Structures are given as C-alpha cells and as structure tokens.
Amino acid sequence: MAAEGLERREQNSTSDMVTRHDALVDARGLACPLPLVKARQALMVLEPGAVVCVLATDPAAADDFTNFCEHGGHVLLEIREADGVLKIVLAKRAGQGTG
C-alpha cells in the first residue's frame, strides 16, 4: 500500500518532469523537513539502487537533499527546477536493505 504522497510509477518519458524511477514522492506544497521525511519513507521500503524522484516546492529542499545524500551515502542523480517545482532524483545506497 502506498503511503500518502508516495506513488509507484512505471517508467515514463512523456513528461519533462518525469524520470525513470521506482517511486515518486510528490512533496509539492510541503515545507521542510517533510519532503525529506517522505523521501526517507520511500527509501526504507525499496531495494538498494532503487531510484526515487521527489517533486518539491520548498526552496530549501535542494540543499536538504544534497546534504542527505552526502551524509547518507545515497547517490544524488539530478536536481533541477522548472516552473517553481524542484525535481530531485536519488538512488538508494548499495548495501542498505529494505525495512
């Protein structure tokens, strides 16, 4: 069962804001630290190497996710902004199982 704000997605290349990913966290409209909290919840149930795409409107999210990946060992694949929405794509670190 998907958590609120977490949606399973098939690979899709039809939208500029959609990247190939295993989970999408729609954190638009949420203030810090909620985008990061929701992303961590998504990562907890995914296998190592899984890709999470986060959509956020909180301007602090870019720095938050950069620090989170640097300190947590996750791989930050992309951060970009379009029309006031940050798209943050990260891969779960190797060796970290589910749960």
- Establish whether 32 is a catalytic residue: yes
Q: pLDDT tens across 45-75, in order? A: 999 999 999 999 999 999 999 999 999 999 9
Q: Which one of the listed residues 18, 26, 28, 32 is annotated catalytic?
A: 32
Q: What share of the chain is helix, strand, coil (3-state, %, to 5)?
A: 25, 30, 50
19 — pLDDT class (breaks 50, 70, 90): low
Q: Is the pTM above the cut of 0.75?
A: yes
Residue count of the chain, please give it: 99
- 21-91 CATH: 3.30.110.40
Which tokens hold the place of 84? 């006031």
> What strands, in cross-sheet order, belong to the sheet with 85-91?
6-7, 23-27, 51-56, 85-91, 75-82
Average pLDDT over residues 4-33: 68
8-state DSSP, 3:
P
Domain assignments of the chain as residue spans, ordered by start: 21-91
